[in-house]
A and B are shown apart, each in its own frame.
Chain A
Amino acid sequence: MIPKADEPFHFFSRLSLNVMTGIKAGNLRELLEHLKAVPESVIYQQTHRFLQQHQFLVPEPPNDFAYWVTHMLQDEKLGECLAAIDTVRFNSLEELRQALVSAIEKHLAKTNHSRPAPEGKEFHFMSAIRFSVPTPYFARDLAEFASCLKKVSISSLYLHVFEAKLRPPLGVNDFSHWFRTQLGETKLAKQVERLDPYTQTLEGLRSKILGLAQSRLEELSRAAA
């Protein structure tokens, strides 16, 4: 018997429109200074933009700061350090900001010099207007969930996996929350939570979640037989 949810899972999409703040940094010290002061929406955009824009560009690092430091300031050591900051570990943007700030401060304390970016290659701080768009997809059980997950856009996956972790209940993606609270599927919820969404493409993530849901469906149908 496949468990049915009291509250169906309604898939939404997250779309965003890039906003230019007009703030730019020409060296590491300026980057640090602005990084401390810009709104959280800027931190979010610069650490998540690549996820939606570079689905096939595997060499891209997981945040814009690492890319700029590596390629424009030619500081590979700090670039690697910034790229290795484990975005998935942080439950708030403020914590993520502090990790970035701390990495740069430590580096500056050791090197004490701030190489300028070439002319025209300054770091431009960006923000975004975010839109929450309801889709026509609703799931009342795991079978419907799998069927919907095949059809929704990657923007929907992005919203329910990435953004969900940054709002209550903190650190939990929407899918796992629904599996646990509506279907009683604790093991499946944990399996999805364990996936690191920052180190794979959204399409890769979709097929992994689908695979987990389908395996569980097969178990349930075997148990019912």
Chain B
Amino acid sequence: MEFAFIIEKFILIIVVFVITLVIAMYSTLAERKVAGFMQDRLGPDRAGIFGILQPLCDGGKFFFKEEIIPAGAHRPLFILGPTLAIITACIGSAVIPWGQALTIGDRVVELQVADVNVGILYIFGVVALGVYGIMLGGWASNNKFSLMGAVRAASQSISYELAMGLSIIALLMVTQSLSLKEIVAQQEGFVNWNIWAQPLGFLIFLICAFAETNRVPFDLPECETELVGGYHTEYSSMKLGLYMFSEYINMFVSSALMAAIYFGGYNFPFMYDLGLSANWITIIGVFVFFIKIIAFIFFFMWIRWTLPRFRYDQLMNLGWKMLIPLALANIALTGVFIILKDKFF
């Protein structure tokens, strides 16, 4: 491997990492702002103009809080829990294609950290790992509420991963590829976006993404009214901060994934009709991609301040009795459409 390649990837990784963290950081502010606005309030606006310094203050506060590890806790696992949660949240963004290739001089720089040919499976693996952080943390706390939160998280993520996987299968039947780069590249322009081919699949995927990131209305693992704080009841200081942060990073990564596989990623309408050079299309594409991601993050928050939390049996009913049959039907329908399309068009 040549040296320039390593440097290039290194820079890209740093940039993606920083952007992920900054967006996650400002998601915490945005969440409170959105909550405020939807409840006819202003939200935090004292730290800096429009509350722009609030995340820094929160982070500083987290660092200076006393750190308490309960006497009965399993120390190594208690520390491993939030570590694993944040690591798995961060590595998910590795396979997401942020833009087309950028040509600098005679070098072609791919705006994707790793073009894994089974990118979607990689993301699934990482998402499935994510629940270990919650499970370990909840179990190691030696607290019944934490344990219940952890058990809920585990069974919830298993239930919804099934429906999520099935909705993806229908998508793969359309795209004929597992590589995210390939999938995004296919959705050129506006009419080729996968949302038009897979509206039902997208709906199922969206619901499952809410469940996988433990967001309202599926935030039963940390349900305050029943479980004090759920899996992070015993956590304090920056460990709690890491758990919260990993939730926001998960939200960012799943928003990016949804924008990439269903909403065309960096593609935007009339991208080749404007007479722009390839580099400009790439740069605009990256911006468009981030606008889509931010729209999805806003949607996550919008849902949070609209819907109440599910009851646990309702959650399981929805997962097993509604979404899985629906996803299976979606696969069958997609197959029928593909055959019809081959036969008659």
Partners in one complex: no
Which residues of A approach B to under 8 Å, CB–CB?
Answer: none
